[in-house]
Amino acid sequence: MYGHFGSKEALQLATFDAAVEQFRQLVPARVPRTATGIERLRHLCDAWIDYLEHGGIAEGGCFLTAAATEFDGRPGPVRDAVAQAAGRWLAYLEHLAAAAVETGDLPPDTDPAQIAFELNGIAMSANQAIQLQRDDAAPQRARRAMHRAAGGC
């Protein structure tokens, strides 16, 4: 397998890139283009929890969360790719929260970066509860927590 990619690192990067693309198709792509403001954020929260609840791309949960946990303390190109993808995701969440503020769905003093941080933390916790604890109630708990964190999304 390494021969096809040239190195273990190249294989890891290609696998991660494929996982990011599949995540995009299974989560953000499910948000209706006609949705605006808080409705857009609500659809994203639901798609995200559905993704986590049904094992992500394959059995074993969210590949991106697992990669973030595995590589967060390891310097190098794989960690850099994981950090960049995580940064883009947080920026996207922040953008959706800011759009909900702009449409008046959320109060003007709402901190979109805080909402992004909380939603991401909830999803990471949900993934662990689903995968590690096999907690059947975790998806519903995560949905409720996301709704509260995003001002009722």
Q: What is the pLDDT of residue 152?
A: 64
Query: 61 in helix, strand or coil?
Result: strand
Does 153 have pLDDT greater than 80? no
Distance from C-alpha of 55 to C-alpha of 48, rounded to nearest angstrom: 11
Q: What is the pLDDT of residue 94?
A: 97
What kind and span of H or E run contains 39? Answer: helix 37-53
Mean pLDDT on 92-107: 95
Taking only the tens place, the pLDDT of each residue in 16-43 is: 999 999 999 999 999 998 888 899 999 9
The two three-digit tokens of residue 94, written as one number: 């922040």
Domains, the chain:
2-149 (1.10.357.10)
CB of 63 closer than 8 Å to CB of 56: yes
Q: What is the pLDDT of residue 63?
A: 85
pTM score, two decimals? 0.89
Distance from C-alpha of 3 to C-alpha of 90, rounded to nearest angstrom: 35
| CA distances for 107 relative to 37, 41, 64, 111, angstroms | 12, 15, 31, 9
